[in-house]
Chain A
């Protein structure tokens, strides 16, 4: 079971790029890396998912180095509405797997 480590909190300002790194030293060969965003009293929302190299969608980019022992979520030009908790989840698809979300990273975007 791949344990993840993220910074507890981060601060940024509107318009800046934010990079949140997640460490997962014992990631397994069949593990994927998924990032979620959660606002207070709401369920987590899927942001992006990847296996290796770089993945980009309309809201974020995910950078995964060759050794896959870490990953970085990149949020371009953040706004106040990006203030939320961000979780990194590492795990395989299906089968016997206990998802472990950890405490996530609380991102606060300032005006």
Chain B
């Protein structure tokens, strides 16, 4: 099976712009989560989508939003970019096993630089 794919891999934007990142989960996975990773704050949870509905949300401002499509692909959007939004944005898709355990599989990430 193909892994989680994210596009674009690298992105440079300026303050005030907006950006949309895309994630394609592993086939059959219905849950997609987004994370922001920075050297200062580490790996932080943004939100999770399951069957096109946001199921969980981390502690980020409303400038960060997302959506999931019927084919489980997901996008996240950041509006009015700030310098502090420079980070590696990671997408993970997950599958709940028969045992009930859930495992996340991460994509390679999108490196966003805000100037």
Contacts and interface: CB of A to CB of B under 8 A. Distances in A.
A36 to B, nearest CB: 8
Interface of A: 30, 32, 34, 36, 41-46, 49, 51, 87, 91-104
Contact of A43 (B31, B55, B92, B99): B92
Contact of B33 (A45, A87, A96, A99): A99
Given A43-B90, A101-B42, A93 B101 contact: yes
Q: Is the interface of A mostly helix, strand, loop or mixed?
A: loop
Contacts of B107: 43
Contact of B111 (A32, A41, A46, A49): A41
Interface of B: 4, 31, 33, 35, 42-45, 50, 55-56, 58, 88, 90-92, 96-97, 99-109, 111
Contacts of B96: 93-94
A4 to B, nearest CB: 12
**Among B43, B92, B102, which residue has the most Cβ atoms of chain A within 10 A?**
B43
Nearest to A31: B101
A46 B103 contact: yes
B45 A98 contact: yes
Contacts of A46: 103-105
A87 B55 contact: no
Contact of A98 (B43, B58, B100): B58
A102 B41 CA distance: 9
6 contacts: A43-B109, A96-B55, A98-B56, A98-B58, A99-B45, A104-B42
Given A43-B108, A98-B58, A99-B33, A93 B102 contact: yes
Nearest to B90: A43
Contacts of B91: 43
A41 B109 contact: yes
